[in-house]
Structure 1
Amino acid sequence: MLVLGRSQIEALIDLDELIDALTPAMEDLSAGRASAPDRIAALVPERNGFLAAMPGYVPSAGALMTKLVSLFPGNAGTPLPTHQAVIVVFDPATGEPAALLDGTAITASRTAACSALSARLLAREDATVLAVLGTGVQARSHAHAMCRVRPIREIRVAGRNPARAGVLAAELSSVLDAEVRAVATYAEALDGAHIAAATTHALEPVICRPWLSPGVHVTSVGYNPAGREIDDATIADALVCVESRQAALAPFPAGSNDLLMPIRDHVITAEHVHAELGELVSGSKPGRTSTDQITLYKSVGVAVQDAAAAALVVAAAGARSVGEEITLR
């Protein structure tokens, strides 16, 4: 069995290849060719956390795997990431366990890569200004991923902790071909932004309709069992897209409060969710219809994303003879 740790996986993941691989994977999901059952979770209410199991099969990637992932929002701002995971990859022809992978790095990359895919499908072609809301792992990953699909020239970083925002802005400025700066508020980051990447565990919305400019594309990957990232007015005005309607609208903790709360409060109905990413890929649902239209991708994370990413990592490791062989007993 191939065993890969976090640093090995980070060295093996090619972000451009991952964005491309997610395109047929999401189409497989929407067309019913992929198998991705509803995730189940063991709740840890005293920590507002959970441990979830996410199995998935993606025929286009030849990938069969399952992920065990913990989500503990209280880790934000500590040395530990909020999302921690392991992935077991199986041979889809025989069911034999083939690889054990650190899932934390894969989760960070695949989440940002799918947000970038949503931007490729929905953001304006001339989008050059990116607002990054949050200062953690996903904020960093999203800044890198968005620069792969749009000609980003300016990045503004905002978070609860101004010092952390400054550190992240300095880091990104040293590796990205863009002007990167930290700003004091979410509203300042969003003013005039063409793409907004919300990556927080906010209790109160960090995306508010009055702060948004016409034509902005919003991505939201944050989770908080008691809160939300996006206000009702933005949800109501936007063209809303998801990975999977079933996943996004599932009851807590699997679904998204950003959609479930406005549905509960009769601001929108479930039919307001316009499309899945796979439907945009296949062309069965249209995307942006005007330059001023606000578009929104709400992510909850689905197993097919992990499967596509894991398949790329295993293939890259095989090509480079990376990893350790062990025998399971």
Structure 2
Amino acid sequence: MIVLSRADVEELLDVGALVDALAPAMADLSAGRAAVPDRTVAPVPDEDALLLDMPGYAPSAKLLISKLVSVFPGNAGSEVPVRQAVVVAFDARTGEPAAFLDGTYITAVRTAACAALSARLLARPDASVAAVFGTGPQARAHVRALPYARTLREIRVAGREFERSRAFADEMSGDVPVRAVASYEEGCDGADIVCGATYAVEPVIRRAWLAPGTHVTSIGYNPRGREVDDATVAGAALFVESRRAALGAVPPNLDLAEPLERGVITAEHVRAELGEVIEGTRPGRTNPDEITLYKSVGVIPQDIAAVSLILAAARERGRGVTVG
């Protein structure tokens, strides 16, 4: 078994390759080829936090993994990530432990890479301006992943504090210019792709701010809050990783759970899973002016795709510490 540090994982995981690898992973999920048991949850009431265990198996990767994730929303705005994780991987042919590796970076990058994949599948063909809301690790990963899915001329960023957003934009600018804006509304104005990567209590993505034809991605989770308003959820063509995971998430993601509970939408409002769009069994965008919404809750095949790439690169480069 090899042990890989966060530095190893960051060096070995190719974000562009991951965006590509997630397409067959999501297709496997929708076709029922991947094993995705329900996650188990251990609440930490004193901190309003959670520990999640997410096991899974993907035959295409010949990999069996379990990921432990802590979700501590109180860390938002600090140097400590809200989500922290470790992954244990097993050889699916023999059951032997294959690797123990840091999962915090994997969680951020696979989430952003799947949001980028959704933009590749669902944004208008001429989409060239993206807005990313948030300034933490998830937002950072989104800024890095989106250019692998679309040719962008600008990425706007917005957060709770403009000075922090400006420092973030200066740090992240590269081949694609990154510009800080003063508000979420300004970020939405004229953007073709709007990505929520926040821990918002009140929605930072609102239907009144979105132009016709916008593609929205939302990965935010706050046990007491919302990232997207009802009007956007109800008025958009809704896409998810898995109906079962999105509509029955434990703990619930309020962006979908609240509209479902109040009858704003029903389960039939989901147009398709991403894997169904990839396989061609369900439609994606049907006209240039419709708003499309990809709401992510995270599923283990995304992690399996990432871990598979990391382990292949580690073996090729001789990285990691062998134990056992």
Fold conserved between structures, TM > 0.5: yes
Question: Which runs of structure 2 are paired with 1:176-255 in the superposition (5 Å)?
Answer: 176-253=174-251, 255=252
* Cα deviations by residue, 1:251-284 (Å, 9 ceiling, x for unpaired): 541x321111011111111110111111011000
In the alignment, structure 1 residue 107 sits paired with structure 2 residue 104: no
CA shift in 2, pair 1:251/1:29, >3 Å: closer
Q: For 1:228 and 1:46, how far apart are their aligned partners in 2?
A: 22
Q: For the residues of structure 1 that align with 2:221 and 2:36, how far apart are their CA atoms?
A: 20
User: 2:222 touches 2:253 (CA, 8 Å); kept in 1?
Assistant: no
Q: Distance in 1 between matches of 2:31 and 2:53?
A: 23
2:39–2:250 contact (8 Å) kept in structure 1: no
Aligned to 2:307: 310
Matched, 1:326 2:296: no
Matches within 5 A, 1:1-329: 1-173=1-173, 176-253=174-251, 255-327=252-324
Letter in 2 for 1:154: E
- Whole-Å separation in 1 of the counterparts to 2:213 and 2:62: 37
Give 5+ residue unaligned stretches, structure 2. Answer: none
Determine the C-alpha separation between the residues in 1 that align with 2:88 and 2:250: 25
Pairwise CA distance, 1:178: 2.1
- Structure 1 residues 60 and 293, CA, compared in 2 at 3 Å: closer, same or farther? same
SS in 2 for 1:68: strand
In the TM superposition, what is the alpha-carbon distance from 1:126 to its structure 2 partner? 1.2
Q: Judge conservation of contact 2:19–2:149 (CA < 8 Å) in 1.
A: no
Q: For the residues of structure 2 that align with 1:294 and 1:46, how far apart are their CA atoms? A: 39
CA contact (8 A) 1:87 1:101 kept: yes
Q: Deviations over 1:193-212 (max 9, x none)?
A: 00011000101101000000
Distance 1:126 1:289 in 2: 15
SS at match of 1:234: helix
Matched-pair contact (CA < 8 Å) for 1:153–1:177? no
Once the two structures are superposed, residues 39-93 of structure 1 have per-residue CA deviations (whole angstroms, 9 ceiling, x without a partner) of: 1110112222100000011112222100000011111111111110000000000
Aligned-pair CA distance for 1:179: 2.4
Alpha-carbon offset, residue 232 of structure 1: 0.5
Q: 2 CA distance for matches of 1:129 and 1:251?
A: 31
Runs of 4+ in 1 over 6 A off after TM superposition: none
Give the whole-Å Cα distance in 1 for the aligned partners of 2:233 and 2:90. 39
State the identity %: 60
Instruction: Answer whether contact 1:132 1:197 (CA < 8 A) is retained.
Output: yes
Q: Per-residue displacement from partner, 1:69-123 (whole Å, max 9, x unpaired)?
A: 0011111111111110000000000111110010001111101111111111101
Alpha-carbon distance in structure 1 between the residues aligned to 2:45 and 2:227: 20
Aligned partners of 1:293 and 1:48: how far apart in 2?
A: 37
Aligned residues: 324
